[in-house]
Amino acid sequence: MSCVAVVVLAAAAAPLVRLLATRPFRQKLRSFPQITVVLAAGGGVALVGVTLAAWLAPPLLVGAAVAAGGGLAVAAWRARSGYGRARGWPPGSLGLLPIGALVDDRFFLRQAARHGPVFKTSQFARPMVCVVGLERITEVLRRFDDVLDPPALPFDAFVPGGFIRSMAADAHTATATRLRPLAARDVAAAHGPFLAETARATLAAMAAAGGADGLAPGPPLRELLFTILVRVFFGIAPDDPDCGALRRLYAVLDVRSPSGALRHRARPALDAIAAIVTGGVTRPARAPSVLATIVGADAAAADPRIVANLIYVLQNARDDTAGLLVWTLKMLADHPVWAEALATTAETDALALRVVLETLRLEQSEFLFRTVRSPIEVDGFRVPAGWLLRLCVRESHRDPAVFAEPDRFDPERFVTPPGRLAYSPFGVAPSRHACLGEALTKTVASVVLAELGRGFTWRAVADGPREFDGWHWTPSSAFRIALARLQTTPPER
């Protein structure tokens, strides 16, 4: 009997073990060390308890197995597609701890094809409704944005008043108004020559470092983005001693490592960064910056909430834009005709931007997450309070009714840009949380690609299947590129 009980308990633990064995989930846990501690402690206590019960009190083990067997039966019942139909819930499985979304980049597309554009699933044991189609998503946000809250991010607790992406309506409006200079279309204009010069220097360094064996493009591109954004946000040049100090402090804040999610590490680093960027904001040696525009002539008047938000906006922008650039390189490697076009066209800047926009259509812009505070209805289906809502942007961009041959990489789609109801990689229009950095992201990414096309040849020398890094789908960690300078480099503009 004890052996049977152990088998039942092992079956009950199997979904969690399978989840923990999935590499993307383990990477996700790096940003949530508290959850890691809870899981480790809970697993240890359960293992000790089962061992002691099997040895000292077999009846307790049998009782636990009976309870676990009942739990498995309930989980199987909830996993049926039709579960909740009488309550008005959409179709789809509420399976216990599913891993499909972590290992299959087309998981949500397949679910939509099977169940329709509104379906339910589970996100780490939490019930979640997914919505596909930008018109449908726009309508959901138009009707219910006031009761849809973005889930908290790992660093929210370190920012006075919280990070802008997670703020409630009134606080978000006030903060977004203060950060509005970040959204200006000409925010990068004052740094135009610097952007191009820095991109060329980074690409040249990548060519020298990679050789014939190539190199992983992610790390140097993250460094490039850091250099650019520190200048744009805070006016700090690469040769300023403060830039080196900021680089070290930002490494502590990195949410992809446990240090970035631990208060006793992250909060002092955040305070130190704030002191550096505000201490010299009006120094004549510093370049024009977003922060200087926000605080004006009186650096002492800088609102700590605004400064902390700007610090974390830079961190997110660096990682997201570097990831976008890696995806553009991957797309051009997979479709060399467009790499050749970028190198030969007389309209390099325009084509570079179209490559960025098409890459954003297919990758990088994946979803919007919300927590449902009050019950809502989507296409006649009820979404209860407390559930997650995933607004599937990436899948919506693959609608064949909107984009012919939607899986084909074709930058020429953007000769005439589609409207927001067809294409919306930076947040859907009715949402109060649309990305403030849209113009800056497109400018920086297209400048880097244009400099690549004008001054370098390159090729992919290694690759592998795409991966989920715990936050986004990315090209393979095996992806390597080899760059070489053109023998005759075009004159600087």
CATH of the domain at 457: 1.10.630.10
pLDDT at 151: 86
* 65 and 201 assigned to the same domain: no
Is residue 232 in some structural domain?
Answer: yes
Type of residue at 118: V
* Last residue within a domain, chosen from 78, 107, 137: 78
Whether 142 maps to a domain, the answer reads: no
Tell me what pLDDT residue 359 has: 97
Position 131 in a domain: no
In a domain, 490, yes or no: no
**Residue 428: C-alpha distances to residues 30, 140, 162, 295, 420 (Å):** 29, 10, 22, 29, 7
pLDDT at 107: 96
Q: What confidence tens digit (pLDDT) does each residue in 61-118 have?
A: 788 888 888 988 999 999 999 999 999 999 999 998 999 999 999 999 999 999 999 9
Task: Single out the residue in 49, 78, 107 at which a domain terminates.
Answer: 78
Residue 98 maps to a domain: no
Q: How far, in Å, CA of 291 to CA of 294, rounded?
A: 5
Measured from the Cβ of residue 169, the count of other Cβ atoms closer than 10 Å reads 13
pLDDT of residue 432: 67
Residues 64 and 168 in one domain: no
Question: Domain of 227?
Answer: 156-485
Q: Are residues 48 and 179 in the same domain?
A: no
Choose the final residue of a domain: 20, 43, 78.
78
DSSP string, 284-301: TTSPP-HHHHHHTT-GGG
The domain total for the chain is 2
Q: Same structural domain for residues 451 and 305?
A: yes
Same domain, 329 and 417: yes
Extract the residue ranges of the chain whose pLDDT is less than 50: 491
Domain assignment present for residue 267? The answer is: yes
Residues 326 and 225 in one domain: yes
Residue 330 lies in a domain: yes
The whole-number pLDDT of residue 431 equals 67
* 67 and 163 co-located in one domain: no
In 3D space, the residue among 367, 369, 358 whose CA is nearest the CA of residue 327 turns out to be 358
Residue 352 lies in a domain: yes
In angstroms, the Cα distances linking 220 to 243, 325, 329, 459, 469 are: 16, 11, 13, 17, 18
Report DSSP letters for 144-170, one per residue. HGGGEEPPPPTTGGGSTT--GGG--HH
| 338 and 431 housed in the same domain | yes
The reply to whether the predicted model has a pTM over 0.75 is yes
Same domain, 187 and 72: no
| CA–CA gap between residue 185 and residue 19 (Å, rounded) | 43
Check whether residue 305 and residue 429 sit in a common domain.
yes
Per-residue confidence (pLDDT) for residue 48, from 0 to 100:
78
Tens digit of each residue's pLDDT (9 = 90 or more) over 346-374: 999 999 999 999 999 999 888 999 999 99
Residues 60, 162, single domain; the answer is no
- Domain match, 72 and 197 both: no
| The pLDDT of residue 300 | 56
* Alpha-carbon dihedral sign for residues 115, 122, 359, 165: positive
Residues 6+ apart with CB under 8 A from 361: 397, 403, 413, 423, 425
Which is nearest to 287 in space by CA: 191, 184, 417, 146? 191
pLDDT at position 430, please? Answer: 64
